[in-house]
Amino acid sequence: MAKVYVMTHKKFNPPENKDYVPIHVGREKSEDLGYIGDDTGDNISGLNFLYGELSGVYWLWKNLDSNENIGICHYRRYFIDDNKKIIDPAVFDEELKEYDMIVSYENKLSNMNFREAFARANNVEILDEMGNYIKENFPEDYIAFREVMKSKSSYIGNLMVCKKETFDDYCNWAFAILFGMSNRIDYTKFTDLYHLRIFGFLGEALLNIYIFKNNLKVKSHRVLITDEKAETRELRLAVSQLIKLHQIEEAKELFYKVLETRPDLNLKDSDLTNSMTIIASILDVLNAEKNIAMKGALDYSDDLNVLIEHFKKVEEILEESLGIGDDDGLMGLKTMKKNAYYEGFKDYFEKTHTSAFVVEAICQKSKRLERWTNDFIRIHLELMEEGKI
């Protein structure tokens, strides 16, 4: 029977299935949580601040006395089936009769490649340096490195299930590279704990490279994210409190300062409510409206949750407006009647004091609406000048 080891640094509610086994990563330098720790035998528990969940992966590689199929997941991330249920490890045993490795769904990167996506949240120069290290020490794998860097998709999260021999082979290869990189990184450049976990992020790249270089046959499963990061909730709460006090500049400064050091909080698996992008738009709009002392969104509400729903509603209105036309049903604003726009949504716009700043911010964040930004702003401003909104 496969055993799936759940990497965690905090107390959580593990799956009821006993074949999901919590592993306390970084236990050497933290309070005992009552789980199996990564700080016995041959271990790098003391380096967890650099390796993240990989300190647990290393411990399993060096200390696990079992030939059972082995899985790695995370206290917030689990493989799920089509019914959104956490998969019974017995299913993995059956799948590994046909596949070499079970991994996360293939994350499609629409407008960027793997390297560019890595650069959004991490120091891409370190990733490039790992490429140099591979070229020098594992030249047969450099082509795989280059191909993964150019790829428009990836398997995420250091999540896997495989046979023990595959796991051992992967760890032997991956940790040789990670340890080799340890003297090529200037750790003084890291200003926060998130970016300091650089080897964990490099590990995600190495898993993709390993799959490519070995031409593994993989089975992909969707991933359940059980909870958003505490830091995301804390940031949302802090911004909410500042907006309630009408301290808009302070809220905006805090929001972008935190995201500068923690860009991961803006990623999908950290922001389960998909609100961070909307909050950014809200702060930009509130600041712009305040700077010219106009009546706007803050006069409608100083409750962040209400404002989030308001911005979602305006986006729905703008989407609906694309269908207003008189040219044989032709969709789009070139044929849109201004009066139809006004008659359809005037009550909501008046009640919420919706300005052209709101319209612009929402259009610029929407792939479908972006091309119509100037048209929406023009019509909205004309209606405001006519006193109809």
pLDDT of 350-377, one tens digit each? 889 999 899 899 988 888 788 878 878 8
Residue 387 confidence (pLDDT):
72
Dihedral, 117, 318, 232, 106 alpha carbons, nearest 10 = -40
pLDDT 10s digits, 255-286: 998 888 787 777 666 666 778 899 999 999 99
- 379 and 327 within one domain: yes
- 66 and 95 within one domain: yes
Please tell me the distance from the alpha carbon of residue 241 to that of residue 234, in angstroms, as a whole number: 11
User: Which of 188, 204, 225 is the last residue before a domain boundary?
Assistant: 225
- 206 and 279 within one domain: no
Which segments in the chain show pLDDT lower than 50?
Answer: 324-335
Q: Write out the residue range of the structural domain in which residue 252 sits.
A: 230-385
- 208 and 264 within one domain: no
Count of domains forming the chain: 2
- 276 and 178 within one domain: no
- 366 and 262 within one domain: yes
- 144 and 221 within one domain: yes
User: Which of 225, 254, 269 is the last residue before a domain boundary?
Assistant: 225
Residue 178 confidence (pLDDT):
98
Residue 269 confidence (pLDDT):
65
- 37 and 125 within one domain: yes
How does 327-343 read in b/e, with b if 16+ C-beta sit within 10 Å? eeeeeebeebebeebbe
- 329 and 203 within one domain: no
Give rounded-to-5 percent helix, strand, coil for the chain. Answer: 55, 10, 30
Domain holding 105: CATH number? Answer: 3.90.550
- 240 and 220 within one domain: no
Residue 193 confidence (pLDDT):
83
